[in-house]
Amino acid sequence: MATDLRPYSLVESAGFKYMMKIIEPRYQIPSRPHFSQKVVPALYEQAKSAILNELTSVSAVALTTDGWTSRATESYLTVTVHFISSEWKMMSHVLQTRAIYDQHTSTNLAEALKEAVHEWKLERSYATIPVTTDNARNIINAVKEAGLGPQIGCFAHTINLASQKATGLNQVSRLLGKVRKIVTFFHRSTTAAHILQSKQEMLNVPKHKLIQDVPTRWNSSYDMLERYLEQQAAVYSALTEKALKKNKDINTLNDQDVVMAEELLDVLKPLKTITTLMSTESTASVSMILPLKTTVLHSMQARPGDSPTVRDIKVAIKENLEDRYSACYSFLHKCTAMDPRFKSLPHLDDEQREQIFNDVIAEVIKTKEQAATDIETLVETSDDPGPSTSTQPLPPPAKKSAMMTELFGELFQTQAQDDEPTFLEQVKEEVCKYRGSGCISLEADPLLWWKANEATYPHLAKMAKCYLSIPATSVPITLGARERDRRFRILFAYPEKRSWRMMRVHQVISTVHNMGQTPT
């Protein structure tokens, strides 16, 4: 039930009872309340206990939020925690799915975030809790009100917003409208679809279906246009058939439209590539955001030969994207510096690079000092005083030791003390060595590199675990639509009183995600 999201009523269905009778006639099927009140809640508590135990050994965590609405117009906020394990594997667990009964104010959302942090014991006195969200103002303010942060805008959502500025231009919108009308016609008419298939075979065109775009997903418009251009010969031939000629309001694209479509695909290709990368990259952390943003802005520079439409598209995207993430530039630069693929920071000048790595050094020192303060506080507040931590006078040196001192004097003793580098010097040397080593391949896994080099850069490795655990997107793109479909199935499966359903939705969504991910 939890794994496949089947309703509790499954055990009462005639087909299930018949199947179990064939498999094992003697088996007595437990009642529906047995699963809803005992089995699934027990699975949830088991997973929760394992996750809480796992989180105690994690030094830094990050959160993502996803606000969504059910088909019954009930609003929910799902909170997921992310961290890097001791084996340098990216881990994530769904912590809670809470119904938002009241208005989606920042105060109400902040309360849900604080509840998740408190319930799952995520507070870390020596580390912040970054949160990746969409770009809605209420959730951005909620992160601040909850005392969390920095808040990172979902990069997939950011790219979507910038792309929609381009597809919303009048000339582009008209083009997409024409293509959408053609695609809709072939989707709704079985006769048209059949004729298109025969034309594909006759013209040796790939037997692909036309793609209908989704207004909220710009990349679906890209896919629709790309597929249409692939199929335009078959589409044109199909529409000239006598059986379809009566649809006079359906027209193919003219030569000018085709040129514009090709230009649109060409200028939007970098954004499409980024969207695909975000959906396939298993370690798509915020370290990639600024390098990707720089790449997009570079591709949007005006070039000789750009048509007026291309210029308008580039300006629209550039203006929308240029100031994004300005509030957290320093933080994101440190994240990028800890990614061995981008640590050379080629998009910055020498002075900026020095400043970023100086900030990293300062962060290492600050973290160590805070950890030391926490230990002192723990000792001072402990009921068991334990061994005294005050400095005790050393016993007088033995006769042999005194002779050694008299023989060698203070020269060697002082040099021995001076040769011991301070913690700051150790960190600076480590950073220098890290920067001096070459960047790894852009196709390589940064977490695997850190796993192999953790002993070489122990202090920076701790920072890397903090920075690289933060996802660049609030919801993995490949899971977005599928995940919402799963959630809707859960809601459909539990049509009880609202308060009961909310609790079961929370338990089942968490259990579905966390089963198989928790340590055994």
User: What is the tens place of the pLDDT at every residue in 2-44?
Assistant: 666 677 788 888 998 999 999 999 999 998 888 888 888 888 8
> Would you state the structure tokens that stand for residue 436, as one six-digit string?
């001096």
Rounded distance between C-alpha atoms, residue 477 and residue 271, angstroms: 14
Query: Do 41 and 112 belong together in one domain?
Result: yes
Rounded distance between C-alpha atoms, residue 104 and residue 133, angstroms: 14
Q: Which amino acid is at 396?
A: P
Stretch 117-145: mean pLDDT, rounded? Answer: 92
Query: Do 13 and 136 belong together in one domain?
Result: yes
User: What local confidence, expressed as pLDDT, does residue 477 receive?
Assistant: 45
Stretch 131-153: mean pLDDT, rounded? Answer: 95
Query: Do 129 and 180 belong together in one domain?
Result: no
User: What local confidence, expressed as pLDDT, does residue 506 receive?
Assistant: 65
Query: Do 137 and 20 belong together in one domain?
Result: yes
Q: Are 477 and 279 in contact (CB under 8 A)?
A: yes
Q: Which of 284, 315, 340 is the last residue of a domain?
A: 284
User: What is the tens place of the pLDDT at every residue in 444-495?
Assistant: 999 999 999 999 999 999 999 999 999 999 875 444 444 554 444 444 444 4
pTM of the model as a whole: 0.83
If phi > 0 it is left, if psi is from -120 to 50 it is alpha, else beta; for residue 387 that is beta
Q: Are 66 and 509 in contact (CB under 8 A)?
A: no
Q: Which of 284, 308, 340 is the last residue of a domain?
A: 284
How far apart, in Å, are the Cα atoms of 83 and each of 52, 59, 230, 467? Answer: 13, 9, 43, 10
User: What is the tens place of the pLDDT at every residue in 358-407?
Assistant: 999 999 999 888 866 655 554 555 555 544 444 444 455 555 556 666 66
Number of domains in the chain: 2
User: What local confidence, expressed as pLDDT, does residue 143 receive?
Assistant: 96
Examine residue 204 and state whether it is found in any structural domain, yes or no: yes
| Count of Cβ atoms closer than 10 Å to residue 411 Cβ | 8
Examine residue 48 and state whether it is found in any structural domain, yes or no: yes
How far apart, in Å, are the Cα atoms of 232 and each of 252, 254, 259, 384? Answer: 8, 11, 13, 80
If phi > 0 it is left, if psi is from -120 to 50 it is alpha, else beta; for residue 131 that is beta
Examine residue 307 and state whether it is found in any structural domain, yes or no: no
Query: Do 228 and 201 belong together in one domain?
Result: yes
Examine residue 240 and state whether it is found in any structural domain, yes or no: yes
Q: Are 459 and 426 in contact (CB under 8 A)?
A: yes
Sequence-distant (6+) residues with CB within 8 A of 141 are: 106, 110
Q: Which of 284, 308, 343 is the last residue of a domain?
A: 284
Q: Which stretches within 420-476 are classed as H helix?
A: 423-436, 446-453, 458-467
Query: Do 132 and 37 belong together in one domain?
Result: yes
Give residue 283's pLDDT band: very low, low, confident or very high (50, 70, 90). Answer: low
Examine residue 93 and state whether it is found in any structural domain, yes or no: yes
Query: Do 37 and 77 belong together in one domain?
Result: yes
- In this structure, what is the dihedral angle of CA atoms 83, 353, 442, 159, given to the nearest 10 degrees? 70
- How many Cα atoms are found within 13 Å in the side-chain-facing hemisphere of 72? 16
Examine residue 507 and state whether it is found in any structural domain, yes or no: yes
Query: Do 137 and 183 belong together in one domain?
Result: no
Query: Do 14 and 145 belong together in one domain?
Result: yes
Stretch 176-190: mean pLDDT, rounded? Answer: 95
Examine residue 339 and state whether it is found in any structural domain, yes or no: no
Examine residue 243 and state whether it is found in any structural domain, yes or no: yes
513 pLDDT more than 70: no
Rounded distance between C-alpha atoms, residue 315 and residue 319, angstroms: 6
Query: Do 40 and 146 belong together in one domain?
Result: yes
156-190 as b/e: b if 16+ CB within 10 A: bbbbbbbbbbbbebeebeebbebbbebbebbeebe
Query: Do 18 and 142 belong together in one domain?
Result: yes
Query: Do 21 and 133 belong together in one domain?
Result: yes
Host domain of residue 259? 159-284
More confident residue, 374 or 501: 374
